[in-house]
Structure 1
Amino acid sequence: MISSIGPPVTVATALLVYFGWARSDAQARAMGLDVSLFGYSVQDYALRSIRSLFFPLVSLLIAGLAWLAVDGWVRGQMEPGRRGPLMARLSAAATVGGTALAGGCWLLAVVLPRGAFLAVPFLMAAGVLLAEWGVRLHRLTLGQPPRTSGRLVLQHRALEATFVFTLVTVLLFWGVSDFAQVVGRGLAADVQAQLASLPRADVYSHADLSIGAPGVAQNRLGTASAPVYKYTGLHLLVVSGGRFFLLPDGWTLARGTVVVLPDNDDVRVEFGNR
């Protein structure tokens, strides 16, 4: 049970965290920031990735169920007395086709590293698994190895399975990284398009914060001896790592400033719809 359930759960958790980091990093870079400024925790990265990972995870699970159905049918055709040339051709086709698919995707990624399709790492992983499946079908058609070499064969196959599992895991991380960057850049563009819908943030401080971002207005309140400075024209992006990240009116990806304020008693922030 541990060997069957542990590794998939570990890989899924690592994919969630890595996807959340890659997505947040791409979004921060598109906004002219570094993801380390936000101070996200591992839990934050995992939670931020769940919504965006539904599509790739569901697609992988559907593909896994389809593979199980095909594999079950093929094994049913390999019952005693029903093995024939069809199984040999199927195993050969799966091995050659999977190898060609993986090799072609790798060649495409080497020749066109920036122009490679988003699905290249996932197709490469599918090719590796298809080739491995064809090899296993071929072994089933041959029958069991002699007892004298059974232990060495088991060790060799265990090592082979480890390499295949590691390779597919690395390819999944590669594919998830590319997909996360696309999602992150899309989220940054959504922030620009939906800036007016973000919560309004009015900042109050006894000290002059000298916020010089375009679109921010300063009003002096209170008395001469105890002044209060109010800043309007800001919208809340996120609160993380003990900081407020605010965007001024008219902020854009090309020419925009992100205002970062500490979340402490020196400033007071009021939020509203508009």
Structure 2
Amino acid sequence: MSGDPEADPRWKRAVDMLAVIGPPLTIATALLVYFGWARTDAQAKAMGLDVSLFGFTVQDFVLRSIPSLFIPLVWLLIVAAVWLSVDRFLAGRLNAGRGAGIRRLAAVILFAGLACAAAMWLVVILQPARTVLFVPYIMAGGVLLAAWGLSLWRRSAEAPARSLATLSRGSEKTLIFCLVTLLLFWGTSDYAQALGRGLALSYEQRSALLPTAVVYSKDRLGISAPNVTERSSGTAEHPVYQYSGLRLLVVSGGRIFLLNEGWTLRSGKVVVLRDDPGMRVEYGNPESK
């Protein structure tokens, strides 16, 4: 029947498209959330906090993951573009009958890639408790370099065997893809955490650039952070307590996160207040102090 949606070819094409796009989109979203969480978790731990205190949503983690992925993705695209250009150039020379030279070059690339990956893996084994930035990326590059060298050597062979190699080549590509994907995931996770720790450290230099915050509360808050002053005003029946010397960090999850003036990783404190109706916070331009 024409009214049956399953019989409509347009409906079938839409379902097929969703089946193709859905799983990669789900995986990409999960990766964005994880990288955003890794960056925020490292930043929170460096500041002496737990990431759960911020109450960030999935959307917050996705937005915070963008700085962690932008630079790695740009470099990945640049390297891919250079590799395609070089591979096409070598393919042209191969078609011109220079297979012997390409075969020697392929052997050099193959062993160089294996040596690079093995050296980076040795670094990881010798320093298991230390995060060496970009080592997973270099290891992934070594694996891809070795795979490319092997591919060039096969293409430069005069009579490549194609009888029973189809299944093994497919399995080989699948294993290489999985290995490189895991290494890129590992490297991006390390980069996101390093970025989070760097952001926490940067607050020591740019805490004065954060918005100023003055807290007014009808109840005494007892904030004991360095450089925070308390003044009492109002009447005896209706006192008002004013706290100055604070800087706004972030407002999230129904909480206000404040830093004291001159905040440092070693001696600074993060003041966490509930966004309560009995409390008022005035924010100002940092240059207006």
Distance 1:116 1:249 in 2: 32
- Does structure 1 residue 45 correspond to structure 2 residue 61? yes
Q: Which sections of structure 1, spanning at least 5 residues, go unmatched?
A: none
Residue matched to 2:40: 24
Cα distance change of structure 1 residues 196 and 109 upon mapping to structure 2, 3 Å threshold: same
Preserved CA contact (<8 Å) 1:234 1:249: yes
Task: Give the superposition deviation at 1:127.
Answer: 0.5
Paired residue for 1:74, among 79, 82, 90?
90
- Does structure 1 residue 95 correspond to structure 2 residue 110? yes
Preserved CA contact (<8 Å) 1:237 1:246: yes
Residue matched to 2:150: 135
Aligned partner letter, 1:120: V
Distance 2:27 2:75 in 1: 16
The superposition leaves residues 104-149 of structure 1 with CA deviations (integer Å, 9 ceiling, x where unpaired) of 11012111335674232111100100111122223323456445x3
Residue matched to 2:251: 239
More deviation, 153-162/187-196:
153-162
Q: Secondary structure at the match of 2:236?
A: coil
Distance 2:102 2:221 in 1: 75
Aligned partner letter, 1:174: W
Preserved CA contact (<8 Å) 1:108 1:116: no
Q: TM-score, normalised by structure 2?
A: 0.82
Distance 2:101 2:283 in 1: 69
Distance 2:281 2:205 in 1: 24
More deviation, 222-231/121-130:
222-231
The count of corresponding residues between Structure 1 and Structure 2 is: 268
Residue matched to 2:6: none
Aligned partner letter, 2:103: A
Q: TM-score, normalised by structure 1?
A: 0.86
Distance 1:107 1:238 in 2: 41
Residue matched to 1:166: 178
Identity of aligned residues (%): 54
Preserved CA contact (<8 Å) 1:15 1:176: no
Residue matched to 1:105: 120
Task: Give the superposition deviation at 1:68.
Answer: 0.7
Q: Which sections of structure 2, spanning at least 5 residues, go unmatched?
A: 1-16
Task: Give the superposition deviation at 1:7.
Answer: 8.9
Task: Give the superposition deviation at 1:83.
Answer: 4.9
The superposition leaves residues 184-209 of structure 1 with CA deviations (integer Å, 9 ceiling, x where unpaired) of 22211211112222111111222222
Distance 2:187 2:178 in 1: 14
Residue matched to 1:119: 134
**1:57-68 counterparts in 2 under 5 A?**
57-68=73-84
The superposition leaves residues 13-64 of structure 1 with CA deviations (integer Å, 9 ceiling, x where unpaired) of 5554333222222221111111221122232223223235433322221111
Aligned partner letter, 1:59: W
Task: Give the superposition deviation at 1:8.
Answer: 8.2
Distance 1:4 1:64 in 2: 24
Preserved CA contact (<8 Å) 2:213 2:282: yes
